[in-house]
Amino acid sequence: MSSNNKFGTIIQIGDILVSEDVVTEYFACDYAACKGCCCIIGDSGAPLEESELEPLEESYNVYSKLMRPQGRAQIDKEGFFSIDRDGDIVTPVVDQTEECAYTTFDEEGNCFCSIERCFFQGTCKFRKPQSCWLYPIRVTKLTGGGQALNLHRWGICKDAYEKGRREGIHVYEFLREPLISVFGEDFYEALSFAARKILSDGAQV
C-alpha cells in the first residue's frame, strides 16, 4: 500500500512506513573510494538497539582483540555504549576524535568494524549494529508503535550513490540481506512489489 503527501510517496507495509527514495534512489557502497570512513567520521556513535547491548558485551573478549588500544581504553572508561546529546544509545567514540571505539584498521589504513570482521571469521555470532548494517536507511520508532524507514544522505557516501547509479542498484536492493534479517522475508517481498510498481509508473511518465 502506498500514499502520496507533501513529502512524496509513502509505502506502508503493516505498521512500517517506508519513504519513496528508499526504492527510487541508487546506492552501493564503494569501499575502494571511501575506505570505510563512516566508522571514523560523525558527531556521534552508531545508534544501538537495547537488544544489541547484551551480545555486544558477551562477544567482547573475541572482537576486542582486533580493536585499537584507544578503542579498548574507551570501553574500559565508558562501557559498551554511551548516551548521545539526543538521549539515544550509541556506540562509544574515542575521546578527542570521531572514531567509533569498535573500529579496526588494516595495514593500509582502511577502516573496518572489528565486530563484523570476527563475524566473517566465524568467531562471533553478532554481526554488527543494526543501524550500521541498514545504512543509509535510518529507522525511527513512531509513537503509535510503528516504525519509519527513511533515507539518510551523508556527503561522505557520494561515491556510493554514484556507484549505485552506474550499476543500477537501488537502496532497497543493496540492503536486501539486512532488510530481510531485521524485518523478514514477507516485508521485503512486499517492499519489492511496491518498488516495481513505483519504478514502473515513474518510467511511464
φ and ψ at residue 64, rounded to 5 degrees: -65, -20
pLDDT 10s digits, 21-37 = 999 999 999 988 888 88
pLDDT at 115 over 80: yes
CA distance 123 to 109: 23
Q: Map residue 5 onto helix, strand or coil.
A: strand
Please count the residues of the chain.
205
What whole-number distance in Å separates Cα of residue 22 and Cα of residue 173? Answer: 9
Alpha-carbon distance 17 to 49, whole Å? 19
- Percent of the chain at pLDDT exceeding 70: 94
Count of other CB atoms within 10 angstroms of residue 19: 20
pLDDT at 4: 54
pLDDT-based confidence at 132, cuts 50/70/90? Answer: very high
Short-list 92, 88, 103, 93, CA closest to 49: 88
pLDDT band at 8 (very low <50, low <70, confident <90, very high): low
Measure the CA–CA gap between 178 and 134, rounded to whole angstroms.
6
**Above 80 in pLDDT, residue 203?**
no
Mean pLDDT of the 156-172 span = 95
C-alpha distances in angstroms, 70 versus 11, 40, 60, 61?
43, 13, 15, 16
**Quick one: pLDDT at residue 133?**
96
Measure the N-to-C terminal CA separation of the chain; round to a whole number of Å.
Answer: 20
**Other Cβ atoms closer than 10 A to 125:** 11
pTM attached to this predicted model: 0.89
The C-alpha atoms of residue 17 and residue 15 are separated, in whole angstroms, by 7
> Is residue 204 over pLDDT 80?
no
| 134 close to 176: Cβ distance less than 8 angstroms | no
